[in-house]
């Protein structure tokens, strides 16, 4: 099977779906790799690096799509809803398409892929199981986002993060509050702690208390229950829950120099957790980094991709954060992609079968393939996505 990698067309996207070091690993498993010239340039991977590792570099996008049996993308379908439409005529019946697809935000774009007859797989649909961890692109990119958010906050805050003992007196450490202790939040806790800040965190899932404390953070107790959904993700709650949560957070937010919000529910608008009143209560010079800006923001005053200053408080609303660290973000995506593609190879029914020959097999029984398979044979087949399409159209999908 030939895997194709084209330059990402989403505006400002600097990542690449496969890095050169993954190419020989794929070749050992029976895959060949073709790459569009310049596809990895913005992430720090020149064409020569791909060729040195055994990939074939092709001059045009059309050549890559025409030759590849599998297209590996960072963003596809709903994750690239506008520019991605230009690629629709390039896909062909039976081609396999793999990438982050944001299917529930833009289900119509997945239907467009189905109309081309491709078998499309959404990497953010990978189940949260032990076997699937190595393919979990959401966790990989959340790690990048949590780290980057703290660096942005430290850059904007007019204070040191760590405590300093100087001849001019003692400098108190910054106080950092993390809202949401998923992968991004935990990485933000760890990074802020390494920089010397006093870190506290809150999550609607009380089960994460031990994880927060293991990283040196203090878990902020709030008497709220019922926030953990299927697969360990936070679930969407009703407005009364969020109202009570905001009331409890008012004093906590005001006591901190930096607030980093990471609360997001897959496929839904981000809940508003930091109100204008909370921002008003923060000291001038304080910083909010809203990692949920791409889904509407956790802060009421956030504007996506803008810096807002209100009462001396700086509010950052970055989107596509992993693309700001494209080298390592691409490495992480590549390993996720490699593991996912290898999972498409047939598995021996008996582990002791040493004569088993791997072959590309989408029809095998596999929970990961089943969970991520969105389109097949000209139709959308993912049950949850069919429900979203039915709701959007007012009838059967």
User: With the C-alpha atoms ordered 7, 12, 18, 19, is the resulting torsion angle positive or negative?
Assistant: positive
Catalytic residue ranges? 128, 133, 136, 139, 233
Going edge to edge, which strands form the sheet with 258-261? 218-219, 198-202, 175-179, 258-261, 287-290, 313-316, 307-310
> What are 128's two structure tokens?
């949260």
> What are 153's two structure tokens?
């906050």
- Rounded distance, CA 184 to CA 143, Å? 5
Phi, psi of 215 (to 5 degrees): -95, 0
> What are 25's two structure tokens?
């690993």
CA 18 to chain centre: 16
Name the H helices within 129-275.
137-156, 183-194, 209-214, 239-254
DSSP 8-state code for residue 217: P
CA 241 to chain centre: 26
CB 330 within 8 A of CB 45: yes
SS3 384: helix
- Rounded distance, CA 301 to CA 278, Å? 10
């Amino acid at each position: 099977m030939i895997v194709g990698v084209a330059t990402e067309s989403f505006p400002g996207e600097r990542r690449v779906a496969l890095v050169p070091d993954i190419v020989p690993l794929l070749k050992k498993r029976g895959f060949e790799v073709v790459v569009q010239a310049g596809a990895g340039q913005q992430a720090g991977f020149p064409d020569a690096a791909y060729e040195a590792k055994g990939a074939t570099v092709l001059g045009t996008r059309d050549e890559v799509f025409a030759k590849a049996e599998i297209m590996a993308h960072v963003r596809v379908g709903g994750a690239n809803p506008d520019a991605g439409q230009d690629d629709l005529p390039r896909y062909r019946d039976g081609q396999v398409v793999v990438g982050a697809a944001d299917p529930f935000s833009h289900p119509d774009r997945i239907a467009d892929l189905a109309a081309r007859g491709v078998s499309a797989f959404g990497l953010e649909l990978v189940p949260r199981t032990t076997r699937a961890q190595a393919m979990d692109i959401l966790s990989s990119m959340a790690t990048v986002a949590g780290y980057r958010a703290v660096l942005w906050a430290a850059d904007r805050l007019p204070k040191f993060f760590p405590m300093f003992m100087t001849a001019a007196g003692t400098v108190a450490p910054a106080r950092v509050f993390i809202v949401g202790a998923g992968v991004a939040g935990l990485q933000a806790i760890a990074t802020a702690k390494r920089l010397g800040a006093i870190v506290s965190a809150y999550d609607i899932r009380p089960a994460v208390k031990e994880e927060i404390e293991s990283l040196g953070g203090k878990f902020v107790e709030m008497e709220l229950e019922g926030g953990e959904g299927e697969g360990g993700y936070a679930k969407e709650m009703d407005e009364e829950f969020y109202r009570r949560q905001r009331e409890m957070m008012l004093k906590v937010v005001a006591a901190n120099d930096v607030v980093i919000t990471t609360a997001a529910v897959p496929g839904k608008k981000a809940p508003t957790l930091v109100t204008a009143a909370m921002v008003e209560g923060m000291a001038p010079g304080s910083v909010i980094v809203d990692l949920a800006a791409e889904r509407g923001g956790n802060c009421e005053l956030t504007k996506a991709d803008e810096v807002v200053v209100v009462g001396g408080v700086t509010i950052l609303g970055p989107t596509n954060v992993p693309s700001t660290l494209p080298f390592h973000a691409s490495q992480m995506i590549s390993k996720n992609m490699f593991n996912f593609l290898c999972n498409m190879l047939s598995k021996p029914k008996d582990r002791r079968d040493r004569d088993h020959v791997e072959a590309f097999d989408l029809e095998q029984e596999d929970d990961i393939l089943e969970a991520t398979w969105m389109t097949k044979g000209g139709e959308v087949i993912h049950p949850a996505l069919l429900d979203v399409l039915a709701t959007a159209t007012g009838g059967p999908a």
